[in-house]
Amino acid sequence: MVTSASPTTDPTTDPVAPSPGTPAVITPGEGAAAFEQDVDPVSPNRNLAPLTAQLDGLGRLWVGGCLLSDLARTYGTPLYVLDEATLRATCRAYRLALAEHYPGEALALYASKANSSLAITALVASEGLGLDAVSAGELLTALQGGMPAERIVLHGNNKSAEELQLAIARGVTVVLDNWSDIELLQGLAASRPDPVRLLVRFTPGIECHTHEYIRTGHLDSKFGFDPDQLEAVLRHLAGCPWARVDGLHAHIGSQIFELEPHRDLAGVMAEALALARSLGHPCGDLNVGGGLGIRYVGSDDPPSIQEWVRVVATAVAEACRQRQLALPRLLCEPGRSLVATAGITLYTVGSRKEIPELRTYLSVDGGMSDNPRPITYQSLYTAVLADRPLAEATETVTVAGKHCESGDVLLRDVRLPAAAAGDVLTVFATGAYNAAMGSNYNRIPRPAAVLVHEGVADVVQRREQPEDLLRYDVLPARLAPVT
């Protein structure tokens, strides 16, 4: 169910509302000082706030034409807010950069593990992008959200027979990750009249300076065939009438600020492409994965989308030219860099605990169940008070979640204005891997999500209720309470 509501303050009539098209340049204390950077309207991954972030005459923060504190009152908190204009701008940035810098065909595939929903799928599909899925749930979301099957690829290092069956029945390209994939597909597809479209994933052996858990390109990885297996795999598939190897895939990590590893990747993949074609495979696609980073805090300085695409596209084209290879269709898989900056999370401030000369804890009504990244990856974020983003930062606080876990901390030792119970806290760049990695820890319901655009908020994910968490519980009759 999708519902719509206009903000209680109308930006077209309220005398203190922001002027349309005027971005917020926010310069308060340390917690939001990073807004001093110029807004990049072409490459949103280099911004902290969504493109439509604005301040009204009272200094309150708006996104998508909606007053954030009104959204919190109307829909409750925690609340995921996704700015449609920013997400569309990022989709277009990838599409236009590929068209400008790559001399052949190209397609950006949204890595939907970052944030999978019907609304996001429909929006991304309408912008002409494709999508990669890693489960039956993500695949069904993509298909029901309107993504054409021919623009979907299915990843996964342990695909089930049911997932593979769904993919081949719908005409989705399967990314082969290991010999188990091949064995399962042999049984599922051998009798089909048309071969299954495949990409073969291998580990290119390229390291990136990123978090240990999100490096996927080095040799010690659960993903993909080892390089020394690639020729054997391709020779085997050449004898499989059910298989059509349409291309190759490799991915070197996530939240990457370096560009040189992508140049290295192009040469490795071009060598593999030459091998595959020499063995008779059509191999018209080369999928270089994703990994471009975003700005979470002011000190982050990621490359722009245009710069990343230029480096990748130029390197692939040059590597193919050197080897006299016909240009493949270039595929890439942006996830975080596509959706993270478009998203923010709103919380309501609750209790305060002051430990003299040590720390002040400011608790909010969410935490690790709606954003597990700080406790999992020690991730950093930027936050402001929604109605006082320009107020002087007068205290250092640690923003804690409400879960029964000492490590449930969203922001540690950040500078904020004095906050009281009931204030709305805005955390930026939460569009990727927050909702997707959320949980019901402590049996806390998942938040609602709204898509905001030109003053209208559409509910795209309903808030769970405590009773929803009992839906799949089964109480054996012998344990039922006696009435």
The one-letter amino acid code at 200 reads: V
Q: State the CB neighbour count (10 A cutoff) for residue 148.
A: 13
Greatest C-alpha distance within the chain? 80
CB 298 within 8 A of CB 34: yes
Q: How many angstroms separate the CA atoms of 140 and 187, rounded? A: 23
Integer angstrom CA distances of residue 45 from 152, 305, 455: 24, 7, 23
Q: Is the dihedral of CA 221, 222, 227, 229 positive or negative?
A: positive
Please list the active-site residues. Answer: 404
Please check whether residue 213 is in contact with residue 379, taking contact to mean a CB–CB distance below 8 angstroms: no
Structural Rg of the chain based on CA atoms: 24
Q: Three-class SS of residue 186? A: helix
Tokens found for residue 321: 């030219």
> Could you tell me how far CA 438 lies from the centroid of its own chain?
13
CA angle (477 as vertex; 471, 480 as ends), nearest 5? 75
**Sign of torsion over alpha carbons 31, 34, 35, 39:** negative
Q: Do residues 390 and 55 touch, judged by C-beta distance below 8 A?
A: yes
- What are the tokens at 7? 């903000």
Asked whether the beta carbons of 155 and 131 are under 8 A apart, the reply is no
Ordered alpha helix ranges (H), 135-259: 136-144, 161-170, 179-189, 230-238
How far is 293 from 363, CA to CA, in rounded Å? 29
Q: Which residues contact 247 (CB under 8 A, 6 or more apart)?
A: 199, 200, 283, 284, 285, 286, 287, 328, 329, 331
Per-state percent for the chain, helix, strand, coil, to nearest 5: 30, 25, 45
Q: Are 185 and 243 in contact (CB under 8 A)?
A: yes
Helix (H, G, I), strand (E, B) or coil at 314: helix
Contact 282, 245 (CB under 8 A): yes
Side chain identity, residue 257? F
194 CB neighbour count, 10 Å cutoff: 10
Residue 257, Cβ density class (10 Å: 0-12 exposed, 13-18 middle, ≥19 buried): middle
